Amino acid sequence: MNAPGFSVSAVQGLPEIQPGDDLAALIAEAAGAQLEEGDILVVTSKIVSKAEGRIRQAADREAAIDEETVRPVARRDSLRIVENRLGLVMAAAGVDASNTAPGTVLLLPQDPDRSAVELSDGILRLRGVRVGVIVSDTFGRVWRAGLVDQAIGAGYVTVVDDLRGATDSHGNELAVTVTAVADELAAAGELVKGKLGGNPVALVKGLSAAVTKDAGGGARSLRRPSELDLFSMGTAEARALGRSEAVFARRTIRSFTADPVDAKAVERAVAAAITAPAPHHTTPWSFVEVRTPEVQTRLLDEMLADWIRDLRGDDFSETAIDKRVKRGDVLRGAPVLLVPCLTMEGSHTYPDDRRNTGEREMFLVSTGAAIENLLVALAVEGLGAAWISSSIFCRPTVRRVLELPEHWDPMGCVAIGHPAAPAPDRPPRKVESFLVRR
């Protein structure tokens, strides 16, 4: 839409609107002869709500917000930003105590698009002219201070101007430009309506090209579904959700793509791992990252040889051995291997086996906590991982191939990569089966 100019003025003389009032008749009377074919009315939603009887006692405000809310978006102290039943993200679900009698609050119109159409039809019936109608309300804005009016209802008016595929004055094709005409009209109307002057209706002239022959899809077409919204939650709420879901994001992933793994992501995961609790103020864990293909192959080949030798010593058949060792293939398919190692430096020594065993178990538990931290952090990074125990059974070989100190005990091996497929759904386990209360 490209108009050379337009005018916008406040419609003066409207009375205080009461439930059941014929709003179209009152606006037509107040606008008088200046109301013409192709004009656009921008109507504050509050007078629509009043005419429709959408009034509640102020004492019921919180309950009204609850009723109008579909999902919470953000909260700060008593302020609630929510998605309401109309799909609009607003403070207090649009429930408002301004410009209404003391002790009352207003809810948004039941169906603002229908209200806009009915107003236009009413004007046509009374005055014989077709006008476009915008029902507007006030919104806060992300990333910007201040309030602005937007369209929550529209009838017989262009809502969006889709310029995708058109070319600009330099010959560039517009790929994403869809102008929200209805919101522009709502904001223009607010310039003359204001918040304090008691003028809830604006009259726009000179934009007859925006007035349509049919009612159109309404302002609901401006609403972005929450599942497509890149900013569907407040910052604090998104962080809280991330914290609550982080541990459950960890799943064992056994197949990976060939995509490279960001070294910084692995470093961040190790940084999370080494926050694990540990006895005696020690840090009894280290991690060996194996990325070099030749080193990976040599390590896995020699670990495999040890495994086969053990299985043959246990009198497994060659067929059974082949079947067993295939379980280790997950390590060969991973772009990165990480070998967690336990060190007993800083541990205490006792004169009896009981306490010495307990001492080592403390350090083992700490290493397990570090490995779990690592796996959760990798999942948060969007990486797949699988902890495989095999290096525990061939520690001398792992130390030799990776040139590790003798006091480093490999505690399995973590395969890391981008998941080849999402992990299958896992039914939740019943806490009652694992929690004993005394």
The pLDDT of residue 405 is 97
- Tens digit of each residue's pLDDT (9 = 90 or more) over 294-344: 999 999 999 999 999 999 999 999 999 998 888 778 999 999 999 999 999
Residues 14 and 116 both lie in one domain: yes
Are 225 and 275 in a shared domain?
Answer: no
Mean pLDDT, range 244-259, rounded to an integer: 93
Co-location of 288 and 216 in the same domain = no
What is residue 172's predicted lDDT score, i.e. its pLDDT?
Answer: 95
In a domain, 238, yes or no: no
Domain with 353, as residue range(s), is: 250-433
Domain presence at residue 242:
no
Q: The domain that contains 388 carries what CATH number?
A: 3.40.109.10
Whether residues 155 and 298 share a domain: the answer is: no
Q: Tell me what the mean pLDDT of segment 261-284 comes to.
A: 96
Domain endpoint, select from 198, 233, 268: 233
Q: How many CA atoms lie within 13 A of 426 on its CB side?
A: 11
- 396 in any annotated domain: yes
- Band of pLDDT at residue 142, cut at 50, 70 and 90: confident
> Could you give the CA distance from residue 211 to residue 43 in angstroms, rounded to a whole number?
15
pLDDT, tens digit (0-9, with 9 covering 90-100), for 14-32: 999 999 999 999 999 999 9
Structural tokens at position 373: 């931290």
pLDDT of residue 197: 82
Give pLDDT tens digits for 157-215: 999 999 999 999 999 999 999 999 999 999 999 999 988 888 999 999 999 999 999 99
DSSP state of 233: S
What is the average pLDDT score of the chain? 94
Q: Is residue 267 part of a domain?
A: yes
Residues 303 and 375 both lie in one domain: yes
Query: Is residue 69 domain-shared with residue 134, that is, in the same domain?
Result: yes
CATH number of the domain residue 108 falls in: 3.30.1330.100
Confirm whether 337 is domain-assigned. Answer: yes
Task: Kindly state the percentage of the chain with pLDDT values over 90.
Answer: 83
Neighbouring residues of 88: CB distance < 8 A, sequence distance ≥ 6:
94, 108, 137, 152, 223
Residues 307 and 179 grouped into a single domain:
no
Pick from 74, 109, 71: which is nearest to 226 by CA? Answer: 71
Domain boundary at 174, 204, 233, which?
Answer: 233
- Whether 403 is in a domain gets the answer yes
Whole-number pLDDT of residue 227: 87
**End-of-domain residue from the set 168, 202, 233:** 233
Quick one: 49 and 183 in the same domain?
yes
CB 269 within 8 A of CB 374: yes
pLDDT at 91 over 80: yes
User: How far is the CA of 426 from the CAs of 249, 250, 251, 252, 373, in angstroms?
Assistant: 11, 11, 9, 11, 20
- Domain tally for the chain? 2
d(CA 157, CA 181): 9
Q: Is residue 241 part of a domain?
A: no
Kindly state whether residues 167 and 255 are assigned to the same domain.
no
Query: pLDDT of 354-389, one tens digit each?
Result: 999 999 999 999 999 999 999 999 999 999 999 999
Give the mean model confidence (pLDDT) for residues 75-86.
91
349 and 218 share a domain? no
174 with 270, same domain?
no
Strand 409-410 relative to strand 285-290, pairing: unpaired
Compute the chain's Rg from CA coordinates. 34
Q: What is the mean pLDDT of residues 275-301?
A: 96
Give me the pLDDT at residue 27, please.
97
The residues, any chain, with a CB within 8 Å of residue 239's CB and separated by 6 or more, are: none
Instruction: Give the relative orientation of helices 235-246 and 353-380 as an angle to the nearest 10 degrees.
Output: 140
> 1 lies in a domain?
no
The string of DSSP letters for 84-141 reads ETTS-EEEGGG-B-TTS-TTEEEPPPS-HHHHHHHHHHHHHHHHS---EEEEEEEEEE
Do 212 and 295 lie in one domain? The reply is no
